[in-house]
């Protein structure tokens, strides 16, 4: 009797996942909440002239790039136009404030209770940040004659609608984290980015004048995704030994165990790109408030200089600055992370040591040197990925498809994280997962 051919590993893992009632329920809850998010993204803010809004997005390429991260919600100016980005901003601010403010530092050491308090403070911080960002967007649209009414009461209603939409999306993300699979906030961002991809790919295939360029563009994107996966998973193992005392048969024995510390090459993740993109886009966004389409002024020159879709030579300034700032923020954020982790102190308290390195200051110096060396690899990787859209556009002459490097890193990171969580769920139930 011939053996039955085995199914592909990924397909079999998905079948195993859906065969388990609790895991199937988690997957369906995640999918259902993402569907709700897409419905909310189509609920418009009251008092908006949609035809004027569409013509504004057709004229302003910068807004079109920002719209990709909201899954089209910004183009429709829906209640979810800001997405969960005010929450991301609040989380980054809190992460930077914790090592600076003694009270927050003490809360971070209180375990689960302290983390819950910091999380509550972060949620309260989201409200004013979302209100400020929403008001700024509406003021810009008011300048572009997109709003039907500019009175105080309608403007307040629009700001409150956008703040409520952001807080609702944050709540949906937390529901996914608690009852679904994966990190909910990351999946909300992932859903917004992926929602725009079919439309962009369709536009690319409809514009068949440059089929060779389109094929080469897709090849560059796929190659970039492969490189992102490699650098996301790459790490350097630092060998560590632990000496412990065991009391046996009335005597004390010394035992040693060996393990390692995995230091990631790209431990900063996507945060440096968020910092760099925010600062590089900021001058262009501010200048757009003062631009005059009939009489060009200094603000119009700033908008051209800080426009990601600007032709050469202005485009070189924007993407060169983006590249350098991505490298700088990678080093800055990596140092912040490792100072918070205090690896030398943790090793010393747990009785661990690196073979050939004395505990204390020597261990700290050694780890800082290793981190600085591998961070160069992560920084150059993020810098190259940051300028990938510019290089792809120049090499292929494709203008229809706008793929963001930050969007690619977010998508790859979310997919890998969700797969690992599914893998852990399956391994706990003695099933084979996705990863060999």
pLDDT tens profile 13-52: 667 777 778 888 888 898 999 899 888 888 888 777 777 7
Q: Is the pLDDT of residue 2 over 50?
A: no
Q: Would you say how long the chain is, in residues?
A: 436
Tokens of 207: 């514009």
Query: Are residues 185 and 71 part of one domain?
Result: yes
Q: 3 lies in a domain?
A: no
Preceding omega of 313 cis (within 30 degrees of 0):
yes
Last-in-domain residue among 140, 173, 201: 201
Q: Which residues contact 10 (CB under 8 A, 6 or more apart)?
A: 434
**Cβ distance 364 to 339 under 8 Å?**
no
Average pLDDT score, the chain: 77
**Percentage above 90 pLDDT, the chain:** 5
DSSP string, 369-387: HHHHHHHHHHHHHHHHHHT
pTM for the model? 0.75
Q: Tell me how far apart the alpha carbons of residues 434 and 436 are, in angstroms, rounded to a whole number.
A: 7
Higher pLDDT: 327 or 245? It is: 327
What's 386's domain CATH number? Answer: 1.10.3370.10
Q: Using the Cα atoms of residue 14, residue 20, residue 21 and residue 25 in order, give the sign of their dihedral.
A: negative
Domain count, the chain: 2
| Residue range 241-296, pLDDT digits in tens | 776 554 455 554 454 556 778 888 888 777 788 778 777 877 776 776 666 656 66
Last-in-domain residue among 169, 201, 233: 201
Q: 415 lies in a domain?
A: no
Query: Are residues 250 and 161 part of one domain?
Result: no
Query: Are residues 314 and 378 part of one domain?
Result: yes
Q: Is the pLDDT of residue 416 over 50?
A: yes
Query: Are residues 219 and 322 part of one domain?
Result: yes
Query: Are residues 195 and 280 part of one domain?
Result: no
Helical residues (DSSP H) of 306-404, grouped into ranges: 314-341, 343-349, 361-386, 388-396
Last-in-domain residue among 201, 236, 268: 201
Range of the structural domain that residue 248 is part of: 208-399
Q: Is the pLDDT of residue 4 over 60?
A: no
Give, in degrees to the nearest 5, the angle at Cα 317 between 192 and 378.
60
Query: Are residues 196 and 219 part of one domain?
Result: no
Query: Are residues 171 and 262 part of one domain?
Result: no
Query: Are residues 167 and 300 part of one domain?
Result: no
Angle of the 50-59 helix axis to the 61-69 helix axis, nearest 10: 110
Q: 422 lies in a domain?
A: no
- Measured between its terminal Cα atoms, the distance across the chain in Å is 29
Q: 424 lies in a domain?
A: no
**Cβ distance 284 to 321 under 8 Å?**
no
Give, in degrees to the nearest 5, the angle at Cα 432 between 426 and 433.
65
| Residue range 225-242, pLDDT digits in tens | 888 888 888 888 888 877
Query: Are residues 288 and 190 part of one domain?
Result: no
Phi-psi region of 359 (alpha: psi -120 to 50; beta: other; left: phi over 0): beta
φ/ψ (deg, to 5) at 106:
-65, -40
Q: 230 lies in a domain?
A: yes
Phi-psi region of 404 (alpha: psi -120 to 50; beta: other; left: phi over 0): beta
Q: Which residue carries 């309260």 as its tokens? A: 124
**Cβ distance 297 to 290 under 8 Å?**
yes
Query: Are residues 141 and 228 part of one domain?
Result: no
């Amino acid at each position: 009797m011939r053996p039955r051919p085995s199914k592909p590993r990924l397909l079999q893992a998905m079948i195993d996942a859906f065969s388990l009632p609790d895991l199937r329920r988690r997957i369906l809850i995640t999918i259902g909440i993402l569907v709700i998010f897409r419905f909310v993204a189509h609920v418009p803010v009251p008092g908006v002239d949609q035809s004027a809004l569409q013509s504004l997005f057709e004229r302003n390429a910068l807004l079109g790039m920002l719209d990709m991260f909201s899954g089209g919600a910004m183009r429709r100016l829906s209640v979810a136009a800001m997405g969960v980005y005010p929450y991301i901003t609040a989380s980054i601010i809190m992460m930077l404030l914790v090592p600076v403010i003694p009270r927050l530092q003490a809360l971070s050491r209180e375990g689960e209770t302290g983390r819950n308090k910091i999380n509550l403070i972060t949620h309260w911080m989201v409200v004013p940040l979302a209100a400020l960002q929403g008001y700024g967007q509406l003021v810009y649209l008011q300048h572009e004659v997109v709003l039907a009414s500019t009175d105080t009461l309608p403007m307040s209603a629009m700001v409150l609608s956008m703040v409520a939409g952001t807080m609702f999306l944050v709540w949906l993300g937390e529901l996914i984290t608690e009852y679904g699979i994966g990190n909910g906030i990351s999946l909300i961002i992932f859903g917004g980015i992926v929602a725009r991809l079919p439309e962009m790919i369709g536009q690319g295939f409809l514009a068949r004048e440059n089929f060779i360029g389109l094929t080469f563009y897709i090849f560059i994107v796929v190659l970039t995704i492969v490189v992102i996966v490699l650098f996301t998973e790459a790490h350097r193992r630092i060998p560590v030994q632990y000496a412990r005392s065991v009391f046996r048969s009335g005597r004390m024995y010394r035992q040693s165990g060996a393990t390692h510390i995995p230091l990631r090459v790209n431990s900063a993740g996507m945060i440096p790109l968020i910092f760099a993109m925010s600062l590089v886009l900021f001058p262009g966004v501010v200048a757009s408030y003062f631009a005059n389409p009939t009489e060009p002024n200094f603000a119009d020159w700033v908008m051209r200089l800080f426009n990601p879709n600007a032709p050469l030579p202005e485009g070189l300034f924007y993407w060169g600055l983006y590249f350098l700032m991505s490298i700088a923020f990678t080093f800055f954020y990596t140092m912040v992370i490792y100072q918070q982790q205090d690896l030398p102190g943790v090793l010393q308290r747990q009785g661990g040591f690196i073979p050939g390195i004395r505990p204390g200051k020597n261990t700290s110096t050694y780890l800082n040197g290793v981190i600085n060396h591998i961070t160069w690899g992560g920084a150059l990787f993020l810098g190259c990925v940051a300028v990938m859209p510019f290089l792809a556009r120049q090499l292929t002459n494709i203008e229809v498809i706008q793929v963001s490097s930050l969007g690619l890193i977010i998508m790859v990171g979310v997919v890998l994280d969700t797969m690992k969580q599914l893998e852990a769920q399956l391994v706990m139930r003695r099933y084979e997962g996705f990863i060999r």
